[in-house]
Structure 1
Amino acid sequence: MPKVGMEPLRRKALIDATISAIGERGSLDVTMSEIAGRAGVSSALAHHYFGAKDELLQATMRHLLSELGTDLRAALHMAATAHERVLAVIAVNFSDKQFRAETIAAWLAFYVEAQKSPAMRRLLRVYARRLHSNLMSGLSKLMPRVEADHAAEGIAALIDGFYIRRALKDGTPNAVSAVAVIEDYLETKLQQHKTAS
């Protein structure tokens, strides 16, 4: 008989094992049995909690989005100005918790999978809309809407680009240099707006 209260812990263990397996493999080419072994549960139990591997992958993607959302809400709550809001969004995407080799590999694998999986594509659209909205919450107060929209698109592309570039390299991810480049882009955009005004 299953132990009461174990299901959330086992689900979390399976999601963590999925991120770890994808990170090590660099693709979604992992089996439920491999993931279950990493999580310390049987393959049958993994199937019981998630059904097919696709459902586990979607749950893992939702988990990553949820963690990112929680971290962003906390950072935005602490931001006192519009400029700080934009900097907070950038910083959270490159925090130690988010910008880890395993998580980066998982994001890249999900992007690839989204080319053929409508469910993954929907989740990535949610991510893109949230990122844009969070950036606009600060940028729209710093420059006209059209300029803010372009700046948000540029910052989002840089964030995604650094994740992709990082996934293709060995070694420890360098969040500091990524943040510096994106902040430089932001300052350039803000300066262009001031000059044009």
Structure 2
Amino acid sequence: MGQHKTWQERREQLIEATIVSIHEDGLEKTSIQRIAKRAGLTAGIVGHYFGDKDGLLNATYDALYAKILANAERASNSQQSPAARVKSILLGYLSPDQLTPEIVTAWYVLVARLRQSPALQEIQLNAEITVRGKLRALLNEELSSMDAEALSRGLFAMVTGFWVLMASDPASQDYDAHRKSILSVIERFLKAYSLRDT
């Protein structure tokens, strides 16, 4: 007899199926029926939990950010120097679980929907406020409030811009090279403000 799945397990199963469907089928062909089939569930269950396709896309975007925010929380609470913690937060965007073709495609497609979706905009804004707030708080330990604000904005914009650049070139999947490049730029930014990450 199969084990009864919890709501959280089903939710994760459906979000994973959504990410794969976006990558393999494209957003237009991604449907509740396709997602349900991939997850081994019924379309009725998807509707019960998420309402419709937009509800599932919103939950997927929220889940993608939840992983990054969890990384940011761990990094900001570590015992490293403020600069090292700033770098760790930003590298949460570039961790191996974020640099898969499926995840990169999902990010790119969902970010492209921001202008048409107030719900996605709200998720984006809340995540940005959280991440930039953590960066700014750490940088305030070493810099003036004006410099901390400017650097937190610049670093956040650079890392999110990295996603767009990387995802817009589907032929380039050398994610390790991308990660090394962006890490080098982060370190240069920190050095420009005389911040050491050790």
Tell me the residue number matched to 2:182.
Answer: 178
Tell me the residue number matched to 2:99.
Answer: 99
CA contact (8 A) 2:87 2:186 kept: no
State the shift of 1:82 in Å.
1.2
Distance 1:18 1:82 in 2: 37
- How many percent of aligned residue pairs carry the same amino acid? 26
Q: Deviations over 1:138-165 (max 9, x none)?
A: 2111211111111111101110111001
State the shift of 1:4 in Å.
4.0
State the shift of 1:58 in Å.
1.2
Give the count of matched residue pairs.
Answer: 190
Asked whether 1:148 is paired with 2:152, we answer: no
CA contact (8 A) 1:21 1:30 kept: yes
SS of equivalent residue, structure 1 residue 96: coil
TM-score between both structures, scaled by the size of structure 2:
0.86
Q: Deviations over 1:112-170 (max 9, x none)?
A: 21101111111110111112112112211121111111111110111011100110122
Alignment of 1:3-152 (within 5 A): 4-25=4-25, 27=27, 30-152=30-152
The gaps in structure 2 that reach 5 residues or longer are none
The one-letter amino acid paired with 1:176 is K
CA contact (8 A) 1:32 1:53 kept: yes
Between stretches 37-46 and 11-20, larger displacement belongs to: 37-46
SS of equivalent residue, structure 1 residue 90: helix
The gaps in structure 1 that reach 5 residues or longer are none
Q: Deviations over 1:152-195 (max 9, x none)?
A: 1110111011100110122232312222222222222x13x9xx
State the shift of 1:25 in Å.
4.5
Distance 1:178 1:26, change over 3 A: farther
CA contact (8 A) 1:93 1:159 kept: yes
TM-score between both structures, scaled by the size of structure 1:
0.87
Distance 1:23 1:183, change over 3 A: farther
